């Protein structure tokens, strides 16, 4: 394996990890506030569709991005309404959102574009194009570090950089601001927040909306940055992988970056090495492509140590006498 | 927001005549239940004012109205003479009211400092808030002897210190009226004394304290004035110095109550339960019982005293067949399997061991099941309850339950009602009826009167003594020292999985037992 190949794998790791990272941070905000969200998948999917559809129609990826985020936030509010206001079961609401998104995207796109559940191919200003960071070519002559800068760090869409920036930002918000303290508290013991004179409902809705925005970014990246248009079911379980990464990361932002990069790496390896031979045995392509999903199962089965979720997670808050 | 806070106090003399809190004609209904009926009360500043009443008397509802949790249907609140609307907790805090709930409202994996600051941060950025709070917290802690470590996590500190954090939270928010709801429920006698010293200190600094409790002793010990509530009404407000526990109990219950248990001397006969070298290690690998030996004879009550969490629960669970252990246990001279492989709670019951578990809502009852279903658990295999090999004889079970409810004075006597619809005392009577009516040789009973009203306590104690007088052996576990002292024929004190020693109730006192409970006194 030469250096160039390693760089290429790392480069696609970053691209593949981006939607996972955004969705994982989305889940982090929601679950830290005590709202379990298995509807990350659905929100990503609907954002992917609307961002591509509006970008294709208007020719502007930025309007598309806004539409995608709006759609995702709308579903997030629906989840909030069901689980905060009406104190429903958060898992059932999440499942419903996934089904709703899977059905709606195909139905609307077929009616709108008649291309078998796809949106038209996006090009030019209708999609996010790679940005070459300054001096990429100048530095490329520097041994080892130069190529890393040019091949791995530079040349991504703006959403990749936004996702990476979101990690320290999330850490800062969560652990260094008043809002973060309250958010973490409401996921652990909403009674403490309520008796301190803070609205549990408002805090949790805020968390759910942040979750919607980040899922919207993840979905928009899929359809307008990573790919060039929407294809049905294009989220392909990434919302669930992001949830597994969240558990792996024990609901912490920096660890979320590490976990999603690991999943991205497995995905990149599976895509690059369709057929590899290990000790004379030909590993089938299906196995390579299933690697991220296998890791998901392993993580969810609890093989990575004890992960304690936020204590009030999954339970609606009811004032007690 | 209509909240007002009185600014400036020009006439100190006039102020001392003005109540810190005055409630006028407060009423609150939950559906058909009138929780508070036209309640008026005046709490004078710089005093400790007790509010006493049975469970469901409306004490907590009244305080929740004062703290902005509920909106009263009618009535007015005056704080320091100013009419004040309290639509939410924020308004209550702004009016200088602090509340320490029975179940602490603390975030377990936050530090003490973070818990104190939560909701009262000085700005959007956390670090300046925390460093500012740290200084204030240390000052407050010194001023009121509320020593806590600001950086300790709540989950790592004891309940006594958690409670001090709750008090600090209120003081940090500049509360000068402090409400404490059943504050000693989770405390050891020594911790309770410490709390009372803190309250005296707060009072000396001019703070007003409202103490809600159902324990007469506490009221007599620390309050200046006491208000009694019964069935949603305020029945009396008296100076503590001018009343007696007997009078207060009568005001609470509405009839004369016997505060001491009336029992004849025990007539112990043959040994029923013989425990030798019993040890238990729990799932986390912690040894909970360390080589315990004890025996209980027919016709006597052995009381196990101790602070919660010193192995009493495990002792009950092992003997009840819920947990495995090692050692030798004999019932009427025949050994009992402790490994958990050949026996369980069911087979223990068949051998004549009845078990009233400590946590009746988790282990004693299924809260969503009807009373008649709850009265046969553990005995549901009894042929008397079967109609055929497939079907149960529900009519017979219901009829029997109705009888049991009558004998045990369960109110309301409706077998169809779900367990969760009964009050704590009536739930306990259902469990007791189930276990006692099976005529066991040995009754294991844990915390028989936890969360139970004074009137029901009297009844439950009478039932336990009556069972003893029938020649049954009774192993009683309770964290209430009063209960242990008045019910037991012999007292064993547990500390850290050991039996610290045995005493006769007539030859010991609370002080000695309290020392043993804290691990002092004779070695194990």
pLDDT, tens only, A136-191: 888 888 888 888 888 888 889 999 999 999 999 999 999 999 999 999 999 999 99
Query: Residue A210 is part of which domain span?
Result: 3-236
Is the distance from CB of A47 to CB of A216 less than 8 angstroms?
A: yes
Q: Is the CB of residue B184 less than 8 Å from the CB of residue B476?
A: no
Asked if A146 has any chain B CB less than 8 Å from its own CB, the reply is no
- Tell the burial category of A62 from Cβ atoms under 10 Å away from its Cβ (0-12, 13-18, 19+): middle
Chain A positions touching B169 (Cβ under 8 A) are 196
Task: Decide if B108 and A177 are in contact by the 8 Å CB cutoff.
Answer: no
Cβ neighbours of B11 (radius 10 Å): 9
Lowest mean pLDDT among A97-106, A176-185, A292-301, B99-108: A292-301
| pLDDT tens-digit series, residues A20-30 | 999 999 999 99
CA pair distance B109, A309, nearest whole angstrom: 12
Cβ within 8 Å of B, A 243-262: none
Helix A90-113 and helix A40-58, axial crossing angle in degrees, nearest 10 = 20
Nearest to A72 by CA among A221, A286, A183: A221
Per CB-CB distance under 8 Å, the chain A contacts of B126 are: 175-178, 180-181
Total Cβ atoms within 10 A of residue A85: 13
Contact of B33 with chain A, judged by CB distance below 8 Å, is answered with: no
Please tell me the predicted confidence (pLDDT) of residue B10: 41
Select from B225, B211, B162 the least CA-distant residue to B182: B211
Output the pLDDT for position B524: 40
How many domains is chain A partitioned into structurally?
Answer: 1
Contact check, Cβ <8 Å, B127/A176: yes
Tell me what the mean pLDDT of segment A61-89 comes to: 96
Residue A314 placed within a domain: no
For strands B300-305 and B271-281, give the pairing: unpaired
Q: How many angstroms separate the CA atoms of B233 and B249, rounded? A: 15
DSSP states of B229-290 as a string?
EETTEEEEEEEGGG--HHHHHHHHHSS----S---PPP---SEEEEEEEEEEE-TTS-EEEE
pLDDT at A1: 58
> Stretch A42-53: mean pLDDT, rounded?
97
The answer to whether A176 faces chain B, any CB pair under 8 Å, is: yes
| Under 8 Å between Cβ of B200 and B222 | yes
Size of interface A-B (CB pairs under 8 A): 75
Residue A192 lies in a domain: yes
**Six token digits for residue B82:** 């100013």
Between CA A118 and CA A122 the distance in angstroms is 11
Q: pLDDT at residue B395 above 50? A: yes
Q: Which of A225, A242, A223 is nearest to A234 (CA)?
A: A223
Query: Is residue A261 included in any domain, yes or no?
Result: no
Q: Which two structure tokens, joined as six digits, stand for A226?
A: 């990573």
* A300 domain-assigned: no
If you measure CA to CA, which chain B residue comes closest to A187? B107
DSSP for B487-523? Answer: H-SEEEEEETTEEEEEE-GGG--HHHHHHHHTT-SS-
3-state class of A321 per DSSP? coil
In a domain? residue A227: yes
pLDDT per position as a tens digit, A229-276: 999 999 999 999 999 999 999 999 999 999 999 999 999 988 888 777
Q: What is the mean pLDDT of residues B236-250?
A: 91
Residue B348 is encoded by which pair of tokens?
A: 């223990």
ipTM, two decimals, is 0.89
Three-point CA angle A250, A35, A303, nearest 5° = 30
Q: Could you tell me if residue A43 is inside a domain? A: yes
Match 């999954």 to its residue by tokens.
A314
Dihedral sign of CA atoms B413, B403, B433, B371 in order? negative
Contact B178, B205 (CB under 8 A): no
Task: Name the B residues in 78-137 with CB < 8 Å from any A CB.
Answer: 88-90, 92-93, 99, 101, 103, 105-110, 114-115, 117-121, 123-127, 129
β-pairing, B74-79 vs B82-83, is antiparallel
Q: Name chain A contacts of B125, Cβ cutoff 8 Å.
A: 176-178
3-state secondary structure of A86: coil
Q: Distance between CA atoms of B415 and B376, rounded to whole angstroms?
A: 12
Q: Which of B64, B108, B127 sits opposite A311 (nearest CB)?
A: B108
Give the closest-approach CA distance of B127 to chain A in angstroms: 7
pLDDT tens by residue, B468-512: 999 999 999 998 888 899 899 999 999 989 999 999 999 998 888
For chain B positions 54-73, those within 8 Å of chain A (CB to CB) are: 60-61, 64, 67, 69
How many angstroms separate the CA atoms of B60 and B53, rounded?
A: 10
Chain B's closest residue to A180, CA to CA, is B126
Domains of chain B: 45-67+91-253 (3.40.50.300), 271-366+440-517 (3.40.50.300)
- Give contacts of B108 with chain A, Cβ < 8 Å: 188-189, 311
Neighbours of A287 (CB within 10 A): 11
Find the helix packing angle between A40-58 and A238-248, rounded to 10°: 130
- Three-state DSSP state, A215: helix
| Nearest Cβ partner for B118 among A175, A177, A181 | A181
Distance CA A55, CA A157 (A): 16
| B 155-214 near A (Cβ less than 8 A) | 169
Cβ–Cβ under 8 Å, residues B515 and B521: yes
A197:B92 CB<8 A: yes
Give the nearest chain A residue to B93 (CA atoms): A197
Contact B114 A189 (CB under 8 A): no
Residue A309 domain flag? no
In angstroms, the separation between the Cα of residue B244 and the nearest Cα of chain A is 30
Q: Check whether the bond before B412 is cis (ω within 30° of 0).
A: yes
Top residue of B107, B132, B168, B178 to mutate, by most chain A CBs within 10 Å, is B107
Output A201-204 pairs: Cβ under 8 A, ≥24 positions apart: A201/A84, A201/A85, A201/A317, A203/A33, A204/A33, A204/A34, A204/A35, A204/A80, A204/A84, A204/A317
- The answer to whether A246 and A256 are in contact (CB under 8 A) is yes
Give contacts of A193 with chain B, Cβ < 8 Å.
Answer: 118-119
B401 min Cα distance to partner chain A (Å):
31
Q: What pLDDT digit, counting tens, does each position of B160-203 carry? A: 899 999 999 999 999 999 999 989 877 777 788 889 999 999 99
Higher pLDDT: B55 or B392? It is B392
Residue of B nearest to A179 (CA): B124
Determine the residue of chain A that is closest to B102 in CA distance.
A321
Report whether pLDDT(A10) > 60: yes
């Amino acid at each position: 394996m030469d250096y160039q190949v390693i760089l290429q794998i790392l480069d696609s790791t970053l691209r593949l990890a981006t939607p996972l990272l955004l969705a994982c941070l989305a889940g982090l905000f929601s679950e830290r506030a005590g709202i379990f969200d298995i509807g990350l998948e659905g929100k990503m999917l609907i954002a992917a569709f609307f961002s591509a559809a509006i970008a294709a129609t208007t020719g502007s990826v930025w309007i598309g991005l806004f539409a995608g985020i709006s759609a995702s936030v709308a579903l997030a509010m629906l989840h909030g309404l069901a689980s905060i206001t009406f104190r429903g079961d958060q898992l059932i609401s999440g499942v419903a959102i996934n089904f709703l998104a899977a059905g709606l995207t195909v139905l609307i796109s077929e009616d709108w574009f008649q291309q078998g559940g796809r949106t038209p191919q996006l090009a030019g200003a209708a999609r996010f194009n790679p940005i070459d960071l300054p001096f990429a070519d100048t530095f490329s002559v520097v041994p080892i570090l130069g190529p890393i800068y040019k091949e791995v760090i530079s040349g991504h869409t703006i959403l990749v950089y936004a996702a990476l920036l979101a990690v320290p930002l999330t850490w800062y918000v969560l652990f260094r601001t008043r809002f973060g303290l309250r958010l973490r508290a409401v996921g652990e013991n909403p009674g403490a927040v309520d008796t301190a004179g803070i609205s549990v409902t408002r805090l949790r809705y805020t968390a759910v909306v942040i979750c919607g925005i980040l899922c919207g970014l993840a979905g928009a990246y899929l359809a307008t940055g990573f790919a060039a248009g929407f294809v049905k079911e294009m989220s392909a379980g990434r919302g669930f992988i992001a949830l597994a990464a969240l558990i792996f990361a024990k609901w912490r932002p920096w660890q979320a970056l590490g976990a999603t990069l690991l999943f991205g790496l497995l995905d990149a390896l599976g895509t690059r090495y369709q057929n590899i031979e290990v000790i004379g045995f030909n590993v089938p392509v299906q196995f390579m492509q299933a690697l991220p999903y296998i890791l998901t199962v392993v993580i969810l089965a609890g093989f990575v140590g004890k992960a304690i979720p936020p204590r009030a997670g999954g339970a609606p808050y009811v004032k007690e006498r | 927001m209509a909240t007002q806070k009185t600014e400036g106090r020009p006439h100190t003399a006039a102020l001392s005549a003005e109540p810190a809190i005055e409630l006028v004609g407060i009423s609150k209904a939950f559906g058909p239940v009138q929780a508070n009926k036209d309640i008026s009360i005046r709490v004078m500043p710089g005093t400790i004012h007790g509010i006493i009443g049975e469970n469901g008397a409306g004490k907590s509802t009244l305080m929740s109205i004062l703290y902005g949790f509920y909106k009263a249907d009618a009535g007015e609140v005056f704080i320091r003479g100013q009419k004040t609307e309290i639509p939410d907790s924020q308004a209550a805090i702004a009016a200088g009211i602090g509340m320490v709930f029975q179940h602490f409202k603390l975030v377990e994996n936050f530090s003490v400092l973070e818990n104190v600051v939560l909701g009262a941060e000085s700005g959007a950025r956390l670090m300046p808030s925390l460093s500012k709070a740290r200084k204030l917290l240390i000052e407050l802690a010194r001023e009121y002897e509320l020593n806590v470590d600001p950086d300790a996590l709540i989950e790592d500190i004891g309940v006594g210190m958690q409670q001090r954090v709750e008090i600090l939270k209120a003081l940090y928010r500049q509360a000068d009226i402090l409400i404490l709801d059943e504050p000693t429920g989770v405390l050891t006698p020594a911790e309770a004394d410490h709390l009372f010293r803190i309250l005296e200190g707060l009072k000396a600094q001019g703070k007003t304290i409202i103490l809600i409790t159902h324990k007469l002793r506490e009221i007599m010990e620390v309050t200046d004035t006491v208000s009694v509530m019964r069935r949603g009404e305020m029945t009396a407000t008296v100076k503590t110095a001018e009343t007696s526990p007997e009078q207060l109990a009568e005001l609470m219950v509405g009839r004369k109550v016997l505060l001491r248990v009336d029992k004849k001397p025990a007539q112990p006969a043959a040994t029923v339960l013989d425990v030798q070298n019993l040890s238990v290690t729990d799932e986390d690998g912690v040894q909970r019982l360390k080589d315990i030996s004890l025996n209980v004879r027919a016709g006597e009550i052995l009381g196990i005293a101790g602070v919660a969490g010193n192995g009493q629960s495990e002792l009950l669970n092992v003997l009840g067949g819920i947990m495995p252990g090692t050692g030798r246990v004999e019932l009427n001279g025949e050994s009992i399997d402790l490994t958990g492989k050949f026996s369980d709670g069911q087979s223990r019951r068949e051998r004549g061991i009845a078990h009233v578990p400590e946590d009746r809502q988790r282990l004693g009852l299924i809260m969503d099941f009807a009373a008649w279903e709850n009265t046969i658990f553990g005995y549901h295999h009894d042929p008397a309850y079967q109609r055929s090999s497939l079907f149960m004889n529900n009519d017979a079970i219901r009829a029997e339950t109705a009888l049991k409810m009558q004998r045990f004075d369960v109110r309301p006597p409706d077998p169809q009602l779900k367990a969760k619809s009964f009050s704590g005392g009536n739930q306990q009577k259902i469990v007791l009826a189930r276990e006692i009516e099976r005529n066991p040789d040995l009754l294991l009973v844990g915390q028989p009167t936890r969360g139970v009203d004074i009137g029901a306590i009297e009844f439950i104690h009478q039932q336990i003594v009556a069972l003893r007088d029938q020649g049954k052996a009774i192993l009683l576990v309770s964290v209430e020292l009063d209960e242990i002292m008045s019910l037991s024929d012999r007292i064993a004190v547990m500390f850290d999985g050991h039996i610290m020693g045995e005493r006769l109730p007539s030859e010991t006192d609370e002080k000695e037992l309290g020392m043993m409970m804290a691990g002092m006194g004779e070695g194990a």
